[in-house]
């Protein structure tokens, strides 16, 4: 017997089947899009993974080991905060291209509140019209390539003064090898270059104002990387664990007093180059600490690799000679020197976990759902040592940037090498930093023979903090390699 559905029932059945198919398709699509990235094991109640990131274990190395287990993208819990950690070039490319706008914010923390004037300073400001206006001024005026080149006379003057100090110490030492703690020497030099670029002032070694500002600036940079527990466990806010908040308030006031004084002096002198406090801070944070850190690691690596040191000095002798001092215009001909700086930035990026980003909204990264308010850490230390990209990734081999990696630069376009970041929140001080790095290293290597005072290799221990400081001093024995008349040439 034939069975016939009435026409309305047939239509209803077809409609129901179509609706069911549509719902299943939607469910499957949402299921595919509702994937969460893997979360690292080991989280504790309340504090999450914070216990794994204490001072005895460097965070970039702990997170690098986690990447070996969980892959190039995973999450951790930092108290109440969710954090996304990416560790290879492909994931970094996605974050800084496809999702660049999603991660264009910086997290709001005690540091941004107290040292960043409630996130008003350029480095800490949230993404928006205000930040875009600041960035336009900073990148097109204060830190543009043209502006950096205009300030070249300051770098020349400060470098010649600093190298002359070493020469005079050598003379006072009866022309024997003179020992210099180079981490401090680099720090004083770069800070003087930055301060003079900001204020137009030049501090002599025993200048009281200069000594006081150097002390304040060092406190400022140290506090920028301070671990504030209440950022991650809010109910502890107000306890000021470690006394950091009190120190930040004092340091911020001291820094503002210096900037106010310099601005008043500039107004009296009818100068406009320094801008205002926001821009003074941008110049200070863009070039000082990171440049000092990189120069210290570069010299440490060269002392542990004397063949590379000799090649660099031979290159200087070939392209510059010893009858005149190296100039910034010579740098373009010093390809091995440039390779040394790139290799140093690869092995020891000044911010090994990059400056954290903060997601402005819910987004999908590489197929994974990422919630609004998630912090993004790009593990540059791990990314720069990826064996799929770099042969012998843990070895110092500047030659790689003259051969297989010769087309890679550090300006945010090659995601396998991102010491200054990439995308909208990339460090705007790249040109300033590179000019200072290349010229300082070229000057030092041209003018002095350098030697490790110990039979043991230079200690390459890293310190805990936002910037990757060398944990121990860098004592170096120096002796001039140019004729005496070359050490008193005016800038």
d(CA 82, CA 75): 7
* 3 found inside a domain: no
In a domain, 76, yes or no: yes
Angle value at C-alpha 276, between 148 and 135, nearest 5 degrees: 60
How many structural domains comprise the chain?
1
| Joined tokens for residue 434 | 């590179």
**Is 415 contained in some domain?**
yes
- Burial zone of 44 (CB within 10 Å; 0-12 exposed, 13-18 middle, 19+ buried): exposed
Distance CA 150, CA 140 (A): 13
Q: Is residue 198 part of a domain?
A: yes
Residue owning tokens 């350098």: 450
Q: What is the pLDDT of residue 89?
A: 98
Pairing, β 368-370 against β 363-365: antiparallel
Q: Is 26 domain-assigned?
A: no
Nearest to 255 by CA among 286, 215, 297, 299: 215
Domain that holds residue 89: 31-486
Q: Is 485 annotated as a binding residue?
A: no
| CATH code for the domain in which residue 250 is found | 1.10.630.10
Predicted confidence at residue 139, as pLDDT, reads 85
Q: Give residue 279's pLDDT.
A: 60
Residue 222 confidence (pLDDT): 87
Residue 33 Cα distances to 104, 368, 410, angstroms: 22, 7, 34
Q: Flag whether 329 is in a domain.
A: yes
**pLDDT at residue 4, rounded to an integer:** 47
Residues contacting 105, CB < 8 A, separation 6+: 126, 127, 357, 358, 359, 360
Residue at 5 is within a domain: no
Give the pLDDT of the chain (491 residues) as one tens digit per residue: 444 445 444 434 444 544 554 455 444 444 445 699 999 999 999 999 999 987 778 999 999 999 999 999 999 999 999 999 999 999 999 999 999 999 999 999 999 999 988 888 888 999 999 999 989 988 887 788 888 899 999 999 999 999 999 999 999 998 789 999 999 999 999 988 988 888 777 776 677 888 888 889 889 988 988 889 999 999 998 889 889 999 999 999 999 998 888 888 777 765 544 455 556 666 676 667 889 999 999 999 999 999 999 999 999 999 999 999 999 999 999 999 999 999 999 999 999 999 999 999 999 999 999 999 999 999 999 999 999 999 999 999 999 999 999 999 999 999 999 999 999 999 988 999 999 999 999 999 999 999 999 999 999 999 988 889 999 999 999 999 999 999 976 65
CA–CA distance, 393 with 405 (Å, rounded to integer): 13
């Amino acid at each position: 017997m034939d069975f016939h559905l009435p026409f309305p029932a047939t239509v209803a059945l077809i409609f129901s089947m179509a609706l069911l198919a549509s719902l299943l398709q939607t469910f499957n699509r949402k299921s595919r899009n509702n994937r969460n990235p893997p979360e690292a094991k080991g989280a504790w109640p309340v504090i999450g993974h914070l216990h794994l990131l204490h001072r005895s274990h460097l965070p970039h190395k702990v997170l690098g080991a986690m990447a070996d287990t969980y892959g190039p993208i995973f999450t951790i819990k930092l108290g109440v905060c969710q954090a996304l950690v990416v560790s290879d070039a492909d994931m970094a490319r996605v974050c800084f291209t496809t999702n660049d706008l999603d991660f264009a914010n910086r997290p709001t923390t005690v540091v941004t509140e107290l040292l960043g004037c409630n996130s008003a300073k350029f480095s800490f400001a949230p993404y928006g019209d205000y930040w875009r206006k600041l960035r336009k001024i900073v990148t097109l005026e204060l830190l543009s390539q043209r502006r950096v080149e205009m300030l070249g006379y300051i770098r020349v003057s400060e470098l010649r003064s600093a190298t002359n100090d070493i020469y005079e110490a050598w003379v006072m030492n009866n022309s024997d090898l003179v020992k210099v703690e180079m981490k401090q020497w680099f720090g004083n030099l770069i800070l003087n270059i930055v301060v003079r670029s900001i204020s137009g002032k030049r501090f002599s070694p025993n200048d009281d104002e200069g000594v006081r500002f150097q002390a304040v600036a060092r406190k400022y940079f140290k506090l920028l990387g301070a671990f504030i527990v209440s950022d991650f466990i809010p109910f502890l806010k107000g306890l000021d664990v470690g006394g950091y908040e009190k120190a930040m308030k004092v340091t911020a006031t001291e820094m503002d007093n210096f900037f106010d004084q310099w601005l008043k002096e500039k107004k009296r002198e009818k100068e406009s180059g320094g801008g205002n406090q926001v821009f003074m801070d941008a110049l200070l944070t863009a070039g000082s600490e990171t440049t000092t850190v990189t120069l210290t690691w570069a010299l440490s690596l060269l002392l542990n690799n004397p063949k590379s040191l000799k090649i660099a000095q031979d290159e200087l002798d070939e392209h510059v000679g010893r009858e005149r001092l190296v100039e910034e215009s010579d740098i373009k001909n010093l390809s091995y020197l440039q390779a040394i700086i790139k290799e140093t930035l690869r092995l020891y990026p000044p911010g090994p976990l990059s400056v954290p980003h903060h997601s402005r909204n819910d987004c999908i990264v590489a197929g994974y759902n990422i919630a609004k308010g998630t912090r993004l850490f790009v593990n540059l230390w791990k990314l720069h040592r990826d064996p799929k990209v770099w042969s012998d990734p843990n070895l110092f081999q500047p030659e790689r940037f003259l051969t297989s990696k010769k087309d890679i630069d550090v300006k945010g376009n090659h995601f396998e090498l991102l010491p200054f970041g990439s995308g909208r929140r990339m460090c705007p001080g790249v040109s300033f930093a590179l000019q200072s790095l290349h010229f300082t290293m070229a000057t030092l290597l041209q003018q002095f023979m350098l030697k490790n005072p110990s039979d043991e290799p230079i200690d390459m221990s890293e310190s805990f903090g936002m910037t990757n400081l060398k944990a121990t001093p860098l004592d170096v024995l120096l002796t001039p390699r140019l004729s005496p008349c070359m050490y008193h040439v005016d800038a």
